[in-house]
Structure 1
Amino acid sequence: MLLLMVIGLAGHPAWAKRINGGLPGGVLVPPGVAPVPVPPQFDLTGYIEAATVDTNFNLCPNLPVKDPRLAGGTVTINGQVIIVPCNTILQMPAFATSWADLFTSAPADITPAGESGLALGDAFGVGSPGLLNMTWNDPSRTVTSYNAALPGMELHVVGNVINGEYVAGLMFISQQSLNAGQGVISCIDYATGELQVGGALQPTGAPCPPLVPGVTRVRMNDPVGRFGIRHGLPGDPAADVWEAGYDRRFTADTDNPTMHSALGYPICIPSVNPVNPITNPITGATITPGIDPKCPMYNRPVAPNCRSFDPLTLLPAFGPQPDGTYCTTWVMDMPGAHAADGFSTDPNVAAPLVIGDTIGFHGTLKADANGPYISAHTIEANLGIYTQPHTQPAYVSMEALIVGTGGGTVGGIAVESTSRVAWVGFSTDPTEAVDFYAVHQHPVTGAESDFFLQSYQPCCAPLGRFRSPVNNIGVFGEPTRNYRAVSRTMCQPPGINAPNAPAIQTRCMMAPPVVPDAGAGPATIAQNGNGLTVGKYLLPNFEFIFGENLTMGGPIIPANLQDLPFLFCGSGPLDGPGSASPLVGQLDPPPWALPMADPAFHATLCPQATSVGAAPGTPVAPPIQPLPAVINAFTATGAVIADGLPHPVTLTVTATNPNTPATLMSYSFNTAAAGVSFSCGTCIPSAGPSPYTVIATVTTTKTGTIAFNTVVNNGVLPSQVATASIVVASAASKPPVVTKQGSTQAGAVVTLNATAKADNGVTPITLAFQQTGGPTVGIGPVTLAGLPPNQVGTANFTVPVSAAQTQFTFVAIATDPTTGMTTTSNPITVKSPAILADVVTITSVAYRAIVSRVGAPAELGKLNIIATSNETNLNPVPVGMTMNTTLVNSSLPASVPGSTALPITVPLKYTPADLPGTLTPTCGATPCWVGDVTGVIQDTSKVPAVLVAPTSVTVRSSLGGNATVNQGNAVFTIR
C-alpha cells in the first residue's frame, strides 16, 4: 500500500518537480559537479592531422636556453590538439629525435620549409613524375602519394590533461605501428639494394623481372651502408642510390642491427652482383661481379656444408637440409678461419640474404616511377645463424620489452600500478648467459651507466631464446628510456675458449652497473666489420605501463610521467654524450601537476629541476653546464729490463668528475712502443671508478724510455689526455742493495731505519717501509739522510695503547729510480712492551661571547682550552704525539655542525712550561696543550646564524688518554 501511495504521489505535478530536481518531464539534472581533483591521463593513437613548431617559445617562455632544436609545438590527433613541450624527444621506429628536428630533417625535395611532411594537412611537392597525385583541402596543394605521408603518419601519445590542456609526455611515431609484411625473396636487384618479395623465384644474380601483382618491393632504409648500399636524396654525394623523397628519419638502427636473422645475426644485401655485371644507378659505371667484403657470399654456406655445433658443447645437431641449397640453419666458423683458407665463413661480418629466404619487414610506404615500395627500417630473416660457443663475437637481439612505471595513490584515489619489467630476446651463442640492464643517463652529461636487472640462459626451446618470467617482480629502479642485453660471451678472451670457468661467470660490460659489482672486464671487440655493435643490443622501450583506476567510474588518475627521470630531469646533449649539441632538460610545460608527488630522485639526480606543482611562470633552472673530467695523476711503476723477457708495468690513473651527480668515467690506454701488451686487450674506453689500473707487459731488448698515454672521458668533451713514462734499463742492470735494517724505541714511539745503496754506488736511491705483520699502524714519512753510496732512511710510528706486549714486523723497500728495480729487506721485528694510556687533565675552558651592542647577537665567540698529559708534565713531548679537542652543543639540531651528531674537532698545540717571570703565563710550571678557537659554534639553524658556547669539551691524546668537562664544571667559565 505504501509503495502504491508513493508511486501515486510521484505522479502528481508538484511531487514530480521535487523528485526531478524542479524540472517537469522526468529529466533529472544534478547540481554542479566539483572539478576533477587530479589531472587525468590520456593515451591517444591516430593519424597526425596537423603539426606545428613553437619557434617563438610561447609555450615555454621561462626556458633558460631557447635553442631552436628543443622547441615544442602542437600536434592534432583525432581532432584533439595536444601540446608538445619543449625538450621533447620522440621515438621513431629505430631512431630518436627532437620535435623541432623532426621538421628540419624532413626530405627537402618533397617537403616545404616549416612542415614535417608527416601530417595529413601538410603540403607536398611532386617527388617523381607520373605518380598518383591528389589534393588535400586545397586545390593549390599537390600531394604525391606514398612519398608524402599518405594515408598518414600514426602517432602514439601518452600525457596528462593539465588545467584543461592535453600535454604530451611520451611520443612514438610510425607510418603504421602494426603494419608488417612477410614473404619469400624472389629476386634481388644488387644495383639498388632492392628485394622482390613474392612471385616466381629467379636465378641468383639474374635481372629482376617487371613487377606483377602479388610482388612487393622492399628496400633497406640505410643512409650509411651498414647493411648494403647507401641510400639518399637526389644529389647526395655520399649515397650509392638516390630515392625521391628519401626519409632518413625512418632509418634502420645503424648501431644495433634491426636488419638481422631470427637470433640477431646481422644480415645484408651485397653491393655487387655475385654472378653478373651491374650498372651504377647514379654514375652509369659498370660494376663487375665479385665479393662484397662487408656482405660476402661465403657467409651463406651451401648444404651439405651447414655446420652444426661441436658435440662437446652438448647442443643438439640441426636437422638435414637439401644438398645444393643455401643453408638456413648453421654455425659460423671460428674467427680467422676464412683468412686462413679463403672459403670458411667469417663471423665478424654480416650474412647476405639470398633468393628463397623468408623475411618479415616493417617500414614506410614510398613510391617511385616503378610504383610503390617499402622503405624498411626492420627486416628479420627466418635464418638460424649461430656463432661458436664461448667465442667472440656473439650477437644479441631484443624482440619485446615492457616496463611498469610504479606510482602510488594520487589525491586519495586508489591506484593499481606495477614495477614489472619483462623482455624477450635472442643470442647467437646459446651456451653463454645474457645479462639485462636498464640504461641510466646523466641528466646533464648524458653519460650512460648500466643498472643490472637479471640474467638468463638462452637455451634451449627454441635454441637461443631468453626471456623473463611472466610475473617478473623485482627491484628495477626508475624506468629508463633504453635497456640493454649483453652476452657473457664478450667476457671471454679472444680465440677458442672452453666453457666458462667460475671466475668468468660474472657480469661484464663496457660500462659496469651503477650498483657495486665485480665485473670481468670490458669486451675486446666493440664493432664488427660492418660497424655494428657486437655482443650487446640496445633497445628503446616503446611500452610503458602506467597506473590504472581500482574503482570504476571514479576520476581518471594521471600517468606518473614525473617518475621517468629522462622526462623530469632531462637526458643531456641532444646528439649524445660528448657532443656540442644543446642540453635536453625538463619538459616545459610539464605534463604533471599537484597533487601528483615530486619524484624521489629529484634532490639527488637533478636538484635544479622545477618541482611538481611549482607556480605557473616559475623559471626552469638551466642545466648546469657539464665539465670534462680532470686527470689528477697518471703513473707508470715497475722495473723493465732490456733482456727480451716480459716485465709488468702498473699504469694507474686518478681522475675526478667535477659534475654533480658524478658519472662513471671511461679510461683507455695506448703506447707507440713495440713489444707492449695490455691487460685490457685493445683497451677500448672502459668505465670504472677512480683510481683505475691496468697492467702493461713490456718485452724488449732495447734500452730507452717508453711513454704510455691515457685518455679519460666522462661524457663531456674534450677528453683528457695524460702521459707517463718508464725507463728500460740495460740487461746488465742490478737492483739496489739493503745493507742493514733495524729499529729503536723511545716510549710509545718506534723509529724504523734501513741503510741501502744503488748497485753502481752512485745513483741516489729511495726508501720506503711497509708493514707485514701485527696490529696496523700508521708509518710516518721517510726521512732520507746521507749521500751515495750509503743512504739511511728513517720513519716513525706510534705503538697503540695495549695492556700486553705487542709484536710488529716491517720490511724496507729500496728503489733505484733510474731503472725502477727494487729490493726488499729482511724483516724488521719490533717487540713493544705494554703501553699504558696517558692521563689527560683539562685545567681550563674559557668561552667569551663578544656583543657589539645591547640586544644584538654575539659576533665573536672565543674559546680557550688548556690541558695537560702526564707524558709531557716533566718530559719533552714524545715524537709524533698529538692532542685534539672535540666541541659539542647538545641543544643544536642534528644537521648543524657542532651538534652531538656532527661534533667539531680542532687540534691543540704543545706549549712548554712558562719561564720564571713570564708576564702572560699560559701553562705555569707544567708544560701544557693549548687551543684558541674563534667563531665556533655557529647555530646555522637560525637566520641570521648565532654563536653558542659548547656544552661539553673533550680532549683526546694520540697516546690513548682523554678527558671531558661540561658546562657547570669548576674549570668551565663563560663570560
Structure 2
Amino acid sequence: MIVAQLCWISQAMAQLPPPGTPSQFDIVGFLQEATLNGPNPTATTGGKLKVNGHVVVVPDNTIVMLPANALTWQELFAQAPAPYTNIATGMALADSPAPLTTYEVHVIGNRVGDTYIAGLIFLSQQDLNAGAGYINYIDYGRGEMYVGGTLNVDGAGVPRNVLDPNNPGTRISINDPAGRYGRTGSPDQRFTLDPDNPTVRSTTGFPMCLPRTDPNDPSAVPDALCPEGNRPKDVTGNFVATVSMPDPKTIAAGQLPDPRIMAPFEVGDFVDYAGTLVRDSGTSGPYPSGSSGTYISAHTITDNVAIYTAPGTDPAYVAVEVTIIGTGGLTVLGAGEAVVRTRFEGMTTDPSRNVHLYGLDFNPSDGKISDRDWGVVGVDPGAPNGAVKGRWRFRPPCTVAVPTIKDCKGPSGGSFLPPAREVRAVIEGAWTPTTDPATTGGANGIIAGQYRAPILEFIFPENVPGTPPPPNNFETIPFLAQGGYVSSANTLVGQLKPWPGREAPGTCVAPTASAGADFNVASGATNVPLSGSATGNGQLTYAWTAVSPSNTVITNSTSPNATFNALTIAPGGASQTMVFSLTVTGCNNKSATSTVTVTVLPPQQTTPVISPIAPVTVNSGTPVRLTAVGSGPAPLTYTWTQTAGPSQAFTQQPAGDASISFTRAIPIGKITNDVLTFQVVAKTTTGATSAPVSVTVTVKPVADTVTITAAVYRTSKQRLDLTVTSSIVNPNLTLTLQPYQTALGTTFDPSSLGATLTNTGGGTYTLTLVGAPQPTAPPARPLVVKSSIGGTSPATALTNLRN
C-alpha cells in the first residue's frame, strides 16, 4: 500500500503537451477569487478568476453570460450592488464582506503554455438552482409570491390567498429592474430577467406578470398591464389551465382576454422558478439565523398554464428552451470527431405556423445584427396528431424540403458554421428581420413573434484517447475571434486579448517547410547536419523523423538543425540512401512537411565531401556568413570563389577556413534583388579535392516608404480615388491596393477591378476604381497599399466622402 501511494515520486512522465500546443479545459466550480486588471479599467477590461484552485486569465473583451443577461467582466464589478460596487463582484468567496452564498462559474478555455486563458464564461449562483410548486400566496403589496406552502382553499368561498405561518412556502420576488413584469425591484441587477424575451412566461411562451395592485381589493385601481381578466375562469369560478386567446381584430375596446396584454399569476398555479438566494438587506453575508430574511430573486418563472393565441394572428409568442451547437471539430488537428451536433427546442402559442431559426451574427465594427437562415421546423399540433401542443424541436440533420413536426428543413449547404453567439426563433409571418420592433405589438412593449436566446452549450473537439487533448477551436467562433457582440450595458467588444490559443486569428500565415537539398555524405560520417528552414508567423515547432532507415537516431530532432550518423558501408560496397522528413507546425496548428534524401557514399580514403548549403536570403546591408561542412580525411582546407552575380568582396579568415563573411548593400532606388552565387571546394593535405558545392545568396533592396496622401470616395459614382507616394522614384516600381473592409462589413478584393496604381512620375501614384464598394467610414482605417519591394503604407481612413 505504501508503494502504491509513493509511485508518483518517479521522474517518468506521460502525456506531456507538445511544445507550444495549447490544450483545452472545461472547469465548473465555486468562484473563489475575481479580480479586475488596473489601474484604469475600461468597460472591456479583463482580469483573473480562481475556480477549483485554478487561476484563469479573463481576456479583455470577454462578455460573461449570466442566466438572462450578458455583461463584460468589468461590468460585473461596476453593476455589483453595494457594498461591492466598482470594488468587487460580490460573488467570490474571497470578497469582503463575503457573499451570502457561493456562486458557480463555468469557464471553457485553453491552456497556453502554463497559463489558463478563458474563451467562454458562464456565471450563476448555481446553474441548476431551481424549484417548483404551487403558488400558495401572493403578497400584492410587496410584489412577491410564495410557492410550495399550504394551499388555503375553501369551497365555501374563504379566500385562497391566506399565508400559513407554519408552512409559508418559498418566498419569491421577480428580479425586474424596469418593472415590465410587475413591481420594479432588483437586489442585484446583474441577475435580472430578460425584459425583451420573456423568461417570466407560461409553458407555451406567453408573457406572464404579477399584478402591481391587489385584484381582490375593490378599492384598488386594477393593474391595466396585468389584468385578471386575461385569466378566464370556468363555471365554478376557478381559473382554467388552458386559455385560447381571441383574434385581436375581433376584440372591442377594454374586452378581455387580450393577447396584447400579459396574463397574471394566480394562487393555485404550478410554477417552475430559478433565481438567486438573497436576503432583505442585500446580497452580502453572513447568512442570517433562520431563513425569514431570505428569498429567491427570480430571473426565470414558467407557469404551467397553456395560453394559445388564435391561429395565424398577431401578436403570437415563441420561446427557446434548449440551445446546443457544434463548433466543427475537424478544424482542429487531432480532434476525434467532426462535432457538428446542433439542437434547438422550445414552445409557441401558435401551433398553426412553423418556427424559423436564425443564427445571429454581429458586425465586429458596430455590433449590428444580421440573421443567418438556419432553417424551419413544424410545430406539434397536440392530440390526436401530436403529443404536446405548441412544442417544436429543431434537431438536425434536416432531411426534408417541406418541414414537419419531426423533421426540419435545414440551411443552404446544411452547415450551421460558424457558430453564433445567439439564436433567434421566429413564428413564420409574425416577425421578419426588417420589422420595426416598435410596431410588433407585443405585451407591454415585448417584441412579439420572435425570441432571442444565447447559445449556452457549445460542442468542442474531442480528443483521441491516449493522445494529448486538442485545443478548443475558438478561432472558428466569430464573436470571440472578431468581436462584435454587445453587452446588455451596450458595450461593444472586440477580439479576446490575450487570445486563448497559439495565435490570434487574423495574424496566422500557414508555415512552409524545407528540409534542404538532397546531398551526399561519406560512409560512417558522424554528426552529419540536417539543415531545415521554414516560413510562417507565430511560434514554429520542428520535428525531424527518419523515414529510411526508420531506426536512425536523430539528435536535436525538434531543432531546425539536427544531426545524425551516416550508415557505414564496407569498402567496395554500393551507395545507400537515407531519407529524413521535417514537419513544421505553426499558428492554429497548421503544418507543412518536406523530405531530404542523403546518399551515403562508399569509403573513399582520399576524397572529401561537402554537405549542401541552404540558400540564403537577406535584406540589403545585412552581414552574411557562409559556412561549409565537409567530411573526409582531416584536416581540410576550403577554397571559396564567386561564380555569378555582381562582384562582391568577401573575407575568409584564416585562409582556407570553412567560412566566409561579407555585407552587400544595394543602392537606394534599385528595386531588383542582387543574386550572388558562391562555390566552395574542400581539399585534403594529400591534394584530393571534393566536388564543388554552390550556394546562392539573394539580397533584397531596401523597402520604400509608402504613404496614402488622399483617399476620396464618390458615392454617386461608386468610385474610389487614391493618391499615393513612394520614397523611391523608379519607373519599374509598382504599388498595389490591398483588400479592404467595406461599409457593409464585408471584405472587397480590388484586384477584380485592377488594383495596380498608375505611376505618374516623381514617386507619385494614382488609382481610380469605378464600381468599387465604399470603404468603412472613419475612424476605421481600412486602406493599405503595398509596393513591389516590400514597402507598406500605414492603414489609412477615407480622407473625403462625397456624393
TM-score normalized with structure 1 length: 0.48
Q: Provide the rounded CA distance (Å) in 1 between the counterparts of 2:349 and 2:429.
A: 10
How far did 1:273 drift? Answer: 0.5
How far did 1:275 drift? Answer: 1.6
- Match of residue 327 from structure 2: 405
From 155, 164, 173, the equivalent of 2:123 is: 173
Q: Provide the rounded CA distance (Å) in 2 between the counterparts of 1:598 and 1:250.
A: 37
Q: 2:106 is paired with a residue of what secondary structure?
A: strand
Amino acid in the other structure paired with 1:263: T
| 2:246 counterpart of 1:333 | yes
Change (3 A) 1:546 1:211: farther
Check whether the contact 2:103–2:126 (CA below 8 A) recurs between aligned residues. yes
From 342, 349, 353, the equivalent of 1:432 is: 353
- Match of residue 510 from structure 1: 433
- Match of residue 234 from structure 2: 303
How far did 1:468 drift? Answer: 1.5
Q: 2:151 is paired with a residue of what secondary structure?
A: coil
Which consecutive unaligned segments of at least 5 residues does structure 2 have?
1-6, 282-291, 382-386, 399-409, 510-535, 541-586, 588-712, 721-727, 735-748, 759-764, 769-784, 792-803
| 2:789 counterpart of 1:943 | yes
Q: State the superposition RMSD in angstroms.
A: 3.9
Q: 1:389 is paired with a residue of what secondary structure?
A: coil
How far did 1:563 drift? Answer: 1.3
Q: Provide the rounded CA distance (Å) in 2 between the counterparts of 1:214 and 1:272.
A: 21
How far did 1:213 drift? Answer: 4.0
Q: Provide the rounded CA distance (Å) in 1 between the counterparts of 2:55 and 2:8.
A: 37
- Match of residue 91 from structure 1: 65
Q: Provide the rounded CA distance (Å) in 1 between the counterparts of 2:483 and 2:357.
A: 23
Q: 1:47 is paired with a residue of what secondary structure?
A: strand
Amino acid in the other structure paired with 1:168: A
Q: 1:584 is paired with a residue of what secondary structure?
A: coil
| 2:279 counterpart of 1:367 | yes
Q: Which aligned pairs between 1:763-782 and structure 2 lie closer than 5 A?
A: none
Give CA-to-partner distance per residue, 1:63-100, whole Å, 9 cap, x none: xxxx5211111111011111111111000100000101
Q: Provide the rounded CA distance (Å) in 1 between the counterparts of 2:351 and 2:247.
A: 16
Q: 1:100 is paired with a residue of what secondary structure?
A: helix
Check whether the contact 2:342–2:395 (CA below 8 A) recurs between aligned residues. no
From 39, 44, 57, the equivalent of 2:22 is: 39
How far did 1:420 drift? Answer: 2.8
Q: 1:403 is paired with a residue of what secondary structure?
A: strand
Check whether the contact 1:396–1:536 (CA below 8 A) recurs between aligned residues. yes
From 355, 378, 381, the equivalent of 2:303 is: 381
Amino acid in the other structure paired with 1:77: V
Q: Provide the rounded CA distance (Å) in 1 between the counterparts of 2:8 and 2:316.
A: 74
From 469, 472, 484, the equivalent of 1:556 is: 469
Check whether the contact 2:213–2:223 (CA below 8 A) recurs between aligned residues. yes
| 2:207 counterpart of 1:270 | no
- Match of residue 52 from structure 1: 35
Change (3 A) 1:26 1:53: closer
How far did 1:297 drift? Answer: 0.6
Amino acid in the other structure paired with 2:373: F
Change (3 A) 1:35 1:253: closer
- Match of residue 587 from structure 1: 496
Check whether the contact 1:509–1:523 (CA below 8 A) recurs between aligned residues. no
- Match of residue 76 from structure 2: 102
How far did 1:471 drift? Answer: 4.5
Change (3 A) 1:482 1:200: same
- Match of residue 486 from structure 1: 426
Q: 1:339 is paired with a residue of what secondary structure?
A: coil
How far did 1:561 drift? Answer: 1.1
Amino acid in the other structure paired with 1:216: T
Change (3 A) 1:262 1:598: farther
How far did 1:180 drift? Answer: 1.2
- Match of residue 114 from structure 1: 87
Q: Provide the rounded CA distance (Å) in 2 between the counterparts of 1:631 and 1:353.
A: 59
Amino acid in the other structure paired with 1:194: E
Q: Which aligned pairs between 1:208-287 and structure 2 lie closer than 5 A?
A: 208-209=162-163, 211-213=165-167, 215-232=169-186, 246-276=187-217
| 2:479 counterpart of 1:566 | yes
- Match of residue 924 from structure 1: none
Q: Provide the rounded CA distance (Å) in 2 between the counterparts of 1:26 and 1:74.
A: 31
Change (3 A) 1:337 1:163: same
Amino acid in the other structure paired with 2:166: V
Amino acid in the other structure paired with 1:509: T
From 212, 219, 222, the equivalent of 1:291 is: 222
How far did 1:345 drift? Answer: 0.7
Q: 1:183 is paired with a residue of what secondary structure?
A: strand
How far did 1:362 drift? Answer: 0.4
Q: 1:539 is paired with a residue of what secondary structure?
A: strand
Q: Provide the rounded CA distance (Å) in 1 between the counterparts of 2:357 and 2:239.
A: 34
Amino acid in the other structure paired with 1:943: I
How far did 1:574 drift? Answer: 4.7
Change (3 A) 1:186 1:406: same
Which consecutive unaligned segments of at least 5 residues does structure 1 have?
1-24, 58-66, 125-142, 233-245, 278-287, 305-322, 491-507, 512-520, 601-610, 619-629, 634-653, 659-852, 862-894, 907-933, 946-975
Check whether the contact 2:79–2:190 (CA below 8 A) recurs between aligned residues. yes
How far did 1:535 drift? Answer: 0.5
Check whether the contact 2:69–2:488 (CA below 8 A) recurs between aligned residues. no
Q: Provide the rounded CA distance (Å) in 1 between the counterparts of 2:74 and 2:495.
A: 16
Change (3 A) 1:230 1:593: same
Q: Provide the rounded CA distance (Å) in 2 between the counterparts of 1:101 and 1:469.
A: 35
Give the total of aligned pairs: 511
Amino acid in the other structure paired with 2:444: N
Q: 1:298 is paired with a residue of what secondary structure?
A: helix
Q: Provide the rounded CA distance (Å) in 2 between the counterparts of 1:83 and 1:657.
A: 46
Q: Provide the rounded CA distance (Å) in 1 between the counterparts of 2:225 and 2:461.
A: 47
Q: 2:190 is paired with a residue of what secondary structure?
A: helix
Q: Provide the rounded CA distance (Å) in 2 between the counterparts of 1:329 and 1:300.
A: 9
Q: Provide the rounded CA distance (Å) in 2 between the counterparts of 1:368 and 1:86.
A: 34
- Larger-gyration structure (1/2): 1
- Match of residue 268 from structure 2: 356
Q: Provide the rounded CA distance (Å) in 1 between the counterparts of 2:460 and 2:305.
A: 36
How far did 1:423 drift? Answer: 0.5
Change (3 A) 1:206 1:409: closer
- Match of residue 674 from structure 2: none
Q: Provide the rounded CA distance (Å) in 2 between the counterparts of 1:367 and 1:84.
A: 30
How far did 1:407 drift? Answer: 3.4
Q: 2:447 is paired with a residue of what secondary structure?
A: coil
TM-score normalized with structure 2 length: 0.58
From 173, 186, 195, the equivalent of 2:136 is: 186
Q: 1:52 is paired with a residue of what secondary structure?
A: strand
Change (3 A) 1:35 1:154: closer
Check whether the contact 1:188–1:205 (CA below 8 A) recurs between aligned residues. no
Give CA-to-partner distance per residue, 1:359-398, whole Å, 9 cap, x none: 0000001123833211100000001100011111100001
- Match of residue 80 from structure 1: 54
From 523, 536, 543, the equivalent of 2:450 is: 536
Check whether the contact 2:278–2:296 (CA below 8 A) recurs between aligned residues. yes
Check whether the contact 2:371–2:433 (CA below 8 A) recurs between aligned residues. no
Check whether the contact 1:202–1:355 (CA below 8 A) recurs between aligned residues. no
| Residues 205-214 or 365-374, more deviating | 205-214
| 2:177 counterpart of 1:195 | no
Change (3 A) 1:564 1:256: same
- Match of residue 103 from structure 2: 153
Change (3 A) 1:943 1:225: same
Change (3 A) 1:173 1:301: same
Amino acid in the other structure paired with 2:417: G
Amino acid in the other structure paired with 1:53: L
From 374, 390, 396, the equivalent of 1:464 is: 390
